[in-house]
Structure 1
């Protein structure tokens, strides 16, 4: 278990990216002692990531016709006050990760516990990321490319789209995404930000079915 708990941020660099189990063996002590030593030494400002999920369960859920793909990550700029520390890579890579890992079946050798497998088709994955959540959350005129709908469009290369963020370097943009439109306005063109900020908060419509 302790080998699956990695130090992701700490005031000093030496423990970052290492597991509690590894440090315990090196020090000749137990992982609990290491944990509390690091906690005290950091002034309780360090953080860890744990790998507790089961790949078989994830694949089973992904295959289910009712499952949808989302994330509890949030938007973080790679610069300024929000660009410090090491946040979870899901904020930059959730959807490209699914397309790489569970659609194309490609693993990233530099990641820990990244066992890829072709689980869903590209069409199924996109539907689970777009129209299904939009319908469930009652986001009117969203989630489909359709006349009368808002043009929220991501243009990506299905052969190259992939996440590049990691626990040690979470502020890395994905590969293979050339263009992005938000509310019909180009915000990414040829991989570069246009400077436009047309996004807005979306709220569900209680009178929709």
Structure 2
């Protein structure tokens, strides 16, 4: 999120537009191993939980459904990822189950390697990566290239 170079009112106008999508240019990160080096921007861990907490729960500027659409089906369609971004038969199951009243971005500039709070389950390509709040060692993700 570009928050420090825009007025809050401008950001709110853009994020509530029916034409805006929500994404991140952050790189893939993990809390240990070779990808934990340095101090990434907090958006590497917290872009999407921050949107839900700030613009859905706290400010009530977006409905949960609108925020989810802006983060899933709209970007998938724009990128030509026709098998992702929606829940439907024969589509790839990339799903997040979270507690709306607990969702929170915990990543900061001084301590960026912090996973979000409130994520109960996470499925990537139909396989659990987080189940009952516990992360496992499953790595079913892959680089996507639209055709």
In the TM superposition, what is the alpha-carbon distance from 1:59 to its structure 2 partner?
0.5
**1:160 aligned to 92, 97, 102, which one?**
102
> 1:175: which partner in 2?
117
SS for the counterpart of 2:15 is: helix
**1:95 aligned to 45, 48, 70, which one?**
48
List structure 1 runs of 4+ shifted beyond 4 angstroms: none
- When normalised by structure 1's length, the TM-score is 0.66
Structure 2 unaligned segments of length 5 or more: list them: none
**2:131 aligned to 178, 183, 189, which one?**
189
Deviations for 1:6-26, whole angstroms, at most 9, x for unmatched residues?
A: xxxxxxxxxxxxxxxxxxxxx
- Paired with 2:35 and 2:95, the residues of 1 have a C-alpha distance of 26
- Paired with 1:68 and 1:53, the residues of 2 have a C-alpha distance of 17
Aligned length: 145
> 2:93: which partner in 1?
151
Output aligned runs, 1:34-53, within 5 Å: 51-53=4-6
In the TM superposition, what is the alpha-carbon distance from 1:91 to its structure 2 partner?
0.3
Kindly tell me: are residues 82 and 185 of structure 1, through their superposed partners in 2, closer, same or farther at Cα, counting changes over 3 Å?
closer
> 1:62: which partner in 2?
15
CA RMSD of aligned residues (A): 1.4
Greater relative CO, 1 or 2 (CA 8 Å, sep 6+)? 2
Structure 1 unaligned segments of length 5 or more: list them: 1-49, 106-116
In the TM superposition, what is the alpha-carbon distance from 1:79 to its structure 2 partner?
2.0
